[in-house]
Structure 1
């Protein structure tokens, strides 16, 4: 269990299904960049152009042969997550079903209407950054095959 705090305030406006993203309450760019730096520093992760998202989304992959996560832990190929461009700031990650249910129930995101991924709202402040980072780490552990 993630044991997430409830996200404060109303949910941001979400658009989609293609593209699918966040249209209000945009994360400050410096917070987006802090999240990205943490994401790309995870062990074995490499960055490459996304295989599923909009141009300029920054995607995270695991190399073939690294980790034992199920096929459902990846969006396409070995891509397990991506962060949208600065004008959006949300991210899509794969999560185990019970973790996704908790993310949605606590108000931190929504299920993608077409793909089997979770849209996680971009963090609005440093406290929210820590919660979103916890969600990202759960997605990473899912992809790597760790509990």
Structure 2
């Protein structure tokens, strides 16, 4: 079980399902970039063109043979996460269903209407960056088989 604080304020406007993205309360670009730098520094991850999102999303993959994450820990192929372009700043992650439920309940994101991922809202300020980063780390742990 996560100990997620409730996300303050109303939820941002979301549209989709294709693309599924955040329309309001856009994360400041500097926070998006700091999050991305942390994401791409995770061990064994590599960046490649997305297999599921808009062409200019930045996606992360884990090579075959690294970790033992279940098939549900990947969006397509070995892609486990992507962050949307600067005009949006949200990201799609894979998490086990109970954790997706907690993310939704605390107001940090919504499930994708057609895929088995969760849209996590972009961080609006530094405290939110830390919460989103914790969710990214859980998604990574799921992909490498360290989270059931």
TM-score, normalised on structure 2? 0.98
Structure 1 residue runs of 5 or longer lacking an equivalent are none
1:2 Cα deviation after fit: 1.9
Does the alignment pair 1:118 with 2:118?
yes
Equivalent residues, number: 147
1:132 Cα deviation after fit: 0.2
User: 1: distance between equivalents of 2:71 and 2:83?
Assistant: 20
Does the alignment pair 1:89 with 2:89?
yes
Partner of 2:65: 65
Structure 2 residue runs of 5 or longer lacking an equivalent are none
User: 1: distance between equivalents of 2:145 and 2:2?
Assistant: 17
Cα distance per residue 1:2-57 (max 9 Å; x no partner): 21100000000000000000000000000000000000000100001100000110
User: 1: distance between equivalents of 2:67 and 2:76?
Assistant: 16
TM-score, normalised on structure 1? 0.99
Give the ranges of 4+ consecutive aligned residues of structure 1 lying more than 3 Å apart after TM superposition.
Answer: none
1:94 Cα deviation after fit: 0.3
CA RMSD of aligned residues (A): 0.5
User: 2: distance between equivalents of 1:58 and 1:2?
Assistant: 26
